[in-house]
Amino acid sequence: MSESPELAPSDPSLTADNSRRSFLLRAGLFLNAIALTVFAVPIVGYLLAPMRRASFLKWISLGPVTGFPENQTRLAVYSNPFRLPWDGSTADIPCWVRRLTGDSFQVFATNCSHLGCPVRWFPESELFMCPCHGGTFHADGARASGPPPRGLYEYPYKVVNGELWIKAGQMPVMSLSEA
Amino acid sequence: MAKLSTWVATIGDWLSLRLGASGQPSDGREYRVPSNAISWSYVFGSATAVVLLLELVTGLCLALVYAPSADNAWESLLYLNYHQPLGWYVRALHYWGSNFLVALMIIHLLQVFILGAYKYPRELTWISGVLLLILTLAMALTGEVLRFDQESYWDLAIGFALVGRTPLIGGFLVHFLMGGPIIAGATLARMFTVHVLLLPAAILALTGLHLLMAYRLGISEWPMPGRFVNRDTYLANYRDQLARDGEPLIPNGLRNDLFFAAIIILAVIVTSAILGPKGPNGAPNPSIIRTRPHPDFYFLWMEALMGLLPSWLDTPFAFLVLPLLVLGLIALPLISPIGERHILRRPLSLVIAIVALTVLAATTWLGTSDPWSPHMDAWSSTPTPADYLKGRTPLEIQGAILIQSKQCRNCHALGGAGGMRGPALDNTATRLTRNELIRQILQGGGNMPAYGKALKPAEVDAIVAFLMTMHPPNEPPAHNSARPAGLPDTGG
């Protein structure tokens, strides 16, 4: 576009090999790049803080095993270990505890494996039923019918000194299937 | 480098025409609109803008009182409803206003689509309009979350379950959007930021752009069959038309708009005053699991599709089909920027509009009755119709009791009451033979769980005995036609 000679700069200080102004421009660009990086990296880090760990899992006590009668499935509620003081009741997380015999348990997330609605246990028909799209699960958490692509999410558990512990802390979704 | 600058120049020219070109003739008279554009079909855009203003004012008022904190938000909504003078009214205006806003936007979009007004040179006006619709739906979604109650909690859970299906990065994405491992304080703070800071800023900027372009390029003239939109002649023709029989925007061009906008605002006011605010319902406590989440009106179609599509189609629909449809809607004026504008000369557009509207209306209507959801309390709250028990044997009556107590009614209706997830049981015996009934109960299938483990043989006998009575008096039960008539249909 600048092929016409009269547009060429007449002031020799404006030519490309004039080092002072061109240095200032380059230095300005460089400094801005540094400033932007120094500014942006902590901001991005701040924004990504919730993803600082791939999974939020801790051992949580659900109380003494005597609270769960054998051959029954009961709702238990724990306080999420990663809760913030202003979470209120949203951090009171429920789970279904099935005690088979002795120290043999199964602990399920209440979230349906289809779209996360809270499944309800019906002891009469021995089914978990989802209120949203009618997915059902057997007593052992296996998919019985409906749209769910898999069984209920199950928490790892252990019994220590007569107390039931589960490894939990995050809402189970498809790609966090370790519940 | 030269190539890049040519590209930039081309894009710059394209943009500056749409943002800067004037459709007004340069004879120095007042701002004019085509006389055939003074029509009741053209009033929806301005009404949308007016309702947007109403949302802005009421939203600002609500933000003065609302507590965007997970442990207090619900209480602050109750405070607004019952203590703050007129708090209930402002909440109602904001809620019903948003319903009107989405409805008006969709009508406006439809009107522009049918009139072909998105074509040259108004492509960018359409694109900004579709983006505004998407942002407004995002406002509706986040606004529903700010009504932080039980329903809002579980709607979020559904949303995140869907996001969590994203291949590879689903888990990270869910944690990023929730602001932590569970739906809690950080989640609400995020939704508040998006609803109150980010989206309003984007919507105001885009609305400014949208209105600027509408003003600069002028209101599109009424389409005539056979009159083509041509890039070289359109603007000159438009200016000629305005010079010939344009009418001043003020007051002629605004008369219908003024009238309609006032009617709409009054309708929002009357609706709000009569129906009041929505919710909040139960406290946002996930340990209260006796709940049935429903999205607000605008997303019922999505709920219906999630309920009706085969489950293997859920994820492809949400992550592939839906984005492609939205992309197609945005790119529409780039796909067909010129040519006929009259809808009867655009048969494909007409068919697409009718199909899209029908699907949207049908799924929304289905969403209001959600037949795919079990009625979780039907087994204990809807009794067996008394007529079905008269003159029955003890075994059959025992079967009727089992159908209640084993939660069959949650999915199966009797006498019109109960779930609709499975077929109604009133005429079951005319459809299935005794053996087929036994097989269906024990093994399940077709969305029904297998009851084999939960029922004793005697219980199955009783249920089947009752179901065999489920036929009209003048219609015999179904029988196995492979067996000679007269033989009882028992045994394998």
The whole-chain average pLDDT of chain B stands at: 91
- A16-25, B66-75, B170-179: segment of lowest average pLDDT: A16-25
**pLDDT per residue as tens digits for the range B277-306:** 998 999 999 999 888 888 888 889 988 888
Mark whether B117 and B242 lie in a shared domain: yes
CA distance A6 to chain B (A): 21
Q: Which residue has better confidence, B175 or A18?
A: B175
Mean pLDDT on B345-366: 93
- Dist CA A140 CA A100 (whole Å): 10
- Dist CA B420 CA B378 (whole Å): 11
Structural domain of residue B456, as residue ranges?
Answer: 378-467
pLDDT of residue B131: 97
Mark whether B126 and B215 lie in a shared domain: yes
- For residue A3, is it within any domain? no
Mark whether B236 and B384 lie in a shared domain: no
Look at A50 and B372 and tell me if their CB atoms are within 8 Å.
no
| B350 has pLDDT over 60 | yes
Q: Which residue has better confidence, B340 or B52?
A: B52
Mark whether B256 and B403 lie in a shared domain: no
Mark whether A64 and A117 lie in a shared domain: yes
Mean pLDDT on B479-487: 69
Please return the burial class of A31, using the count of CB atoms within 10 Å of its CB with bins 0-12, 13-18 and 19+.
exposed
Mark whether B228 and B280 lie in a shared domain: yes
Look at B374 and A93 and tell me if their CB atoms are within 8 Å.
no
Residues of chain A found within 8 Å of residue B372, distances taken between Cβ atoms: 133-134
Q: Which residue of A has its CA nearest to B174?
A: A173
- For residue B215, is it within any domain? yes
CATH number for the domain spanning B348: value is: 1.20.810.10
Mean pLDDT on B13-31: 84
Residue pair A94/A80 in contact by the 8 Å Cβ criterion: no
Look at A145 and B284 and tell me if their CB atoms are within 8 Å.
no
Residues of chain B found within 8 Å of residue A173, distances taken between Cβ atoms: 160-161, 163-165, 170-171, 174
- Dist CA B242 CA B34 (whole Å): 6
pLDDT of residue B492: 42
Share of residues in chain B with pLDDT > 70 (%) = 98
CA distance A95 to chain B (A): 8
| B127 has pLDDT over 90 | yes
| A165 has pLDDT over 90 | yes
Mark whether B390 and B319 lie in a shared domain: no
pLDDT category of residue B169 using cuts at 50, 70 and 90: confident
**CB pairs below 8 Å between A and B: how many?**
209
pLDDT of residue B372: 87
Residue pair B464/B441 in contact by the 8 Å Cβ criterion: yes
- Dist CA A126 CA B354 (whole Å): 46
Mean pLDDT on A129-137: 91
**pLDDT per residue as tens digits for the range A6-40:** 555 555 555 556 788 888 999 999 999 999 999 99
Look at A170 and B407 and tell me if their CB atoms are within 8 Å.
no
pLDDT category of residue A2 using cuts at 50, 70 and 90: very low
Q: Which residue of A has its CA nearest to B308?
A: A133
**Can you give the pTM of this predicted structure?**
0.89
pLDDT of residue A3: 47
**pLDDT per residue as tens digits for the range A49-83:** 887 776 789 999 999 999 999 999 999 999 999 99
- For residue B101, is it within any domain? yes
Mark whether B107 and B217 lie in a shared domain: yes
Mean pLDDT on B35-48: 91
- A133-137, A161-165, B480-484: segment of lowest average pLDDT: B480-484
Instruction: List the single residue in A86, A118, A122 with the smallest CB-CB distance to B70.
Output: A86
Residues of chain B found within 8 Å of residue A128, distances taken between Cβ atoms: none
Structural domain of residue A129, as residue ranges?
Answer: 58-176
Q: Which residue of A has its CA nearest to B450?
A: A144
- The 3-state secondary structure of chain B, one letter per residue: CHHHHHHHHHHHHHHHHHHHCCCCCCCCCCCEEEHHHCCHHHCHHHHHHHHHHHHHHHHHHHHCCCCCCCCCHHHHHHHHHHCCCCHHHHHHHHHHHHHHHHHHHHHHHHHHHHCCCCCCCCHHHHHHHHHHHHHHHHHHHHHHHHCCCHHHHHHHHHHHHHHCCCCCCHHHHHHHHHCCCCCCHHHHHHHHHHHHHHHHHHHHHHHHHHHHHHHHHCCCCCCCCCCEECCCCHHHHHHHHHHHHEEECCCHHHHHHHHHHHHHHHHHHHHHHHHCCCCCCCCCCCCCCCCCCCCCHHHHHHHHHHHHCCHHHHHHHHHHHHHHHHHHHHHHHHHCCCEECCHHHCHHHHHHHHHHHHHHHHHHHHHHHCCCCCCCCHHHHCCCCHHHHCCCCHHHHHHHHHHHHCCHHHCCCECCECCCCCCCCCCHHHHCCHHHHHHHHHHCECCECCCCCCCCHHHHHHHHHHHCCCCCCCCCCCCCCCCCCCCCCCCC
pLDDT of residue B166: 84
As given in the structure block, the two tokens for residue B277 are 């605010």
- Dist CA B128 CA B135 (whole Å): 10
Residue pair A88/A145 in contact by the 8 Å Cβ criterion: no
CA distance B322 to chain A (A): 17
- For residue B399, is it within any domain? yes
- For residue B82, is it within any domain? yes
Mark whether B447 and B331 lie in a shared domain: no
Mean pLDDT on A81-108: 94
| B109 has pLDDT over 50 | yes
**A81 inside 8 A of chain B by CB:** no
- For residue A84, is it within any domain? yes
Mark whether B326 and B255 lie in a shared domain: yes
Q: At what angle do helices B255-275 and B87-114 cross, to 10 degrees?
A: 140
- Dist CA B52 CA B140 (whole Å): 12
CATH number for the domain spanning B389: value is: 1.10.760.10
Mark whether B283 and B357 lie in a shared domain: yes
Mark whether A157 and A100 lie in a shared domain: yes
**pLDDT per residue as tens digits for the range B196-211:** 999 999 999 999 999 9
- For residue A125, is it within any domain? yes
- Dist CA B326 CA B323 (whole Å): 5
Mean pLDDT on B182-197: 95
Which is it for strands A127-129 and A136-138: parallel, antiparallel or unpaired? antiparallel
| A1 has pLDDT over 50 | no
Cα torsion angle, B18, B23, B27, B29, sign: negative
Q: How many domains does chain B have?
A: 2
CA distance A159 to chain B (A): 23
pLDDT of residue A10: 56
Look at A173 and B171 and tell me if their CB atoms are within 8 Å.
yes
Q: Which residue of B has its CA nearest to A82?
A: B181
Mark whether A64 and A136 lie in a shared domain: yes
Mark whether A106 and A27 lie in a shared domain: no
Mean pLDDT on B342-357: 92
Look at A171 and B450 and tell me if their CB atoms are within 8 Å.
no
Look at A86 and B176 and tell me if their CB atoms are within 8 Å.
no
Mark whether A164 and A80 lie in a shared domain: yes
ω into B280 cis (within 30 of 0): yes
Mark whether B103 and B239 lie in a shared domain: yes
Mean pLDDT on B214-233: 90
Q: How many domains does chain A have?
A: 2
CATH number for the domain spanning A113: value is: 2.102.10.10
CA distance A98 to chain B (A): 16
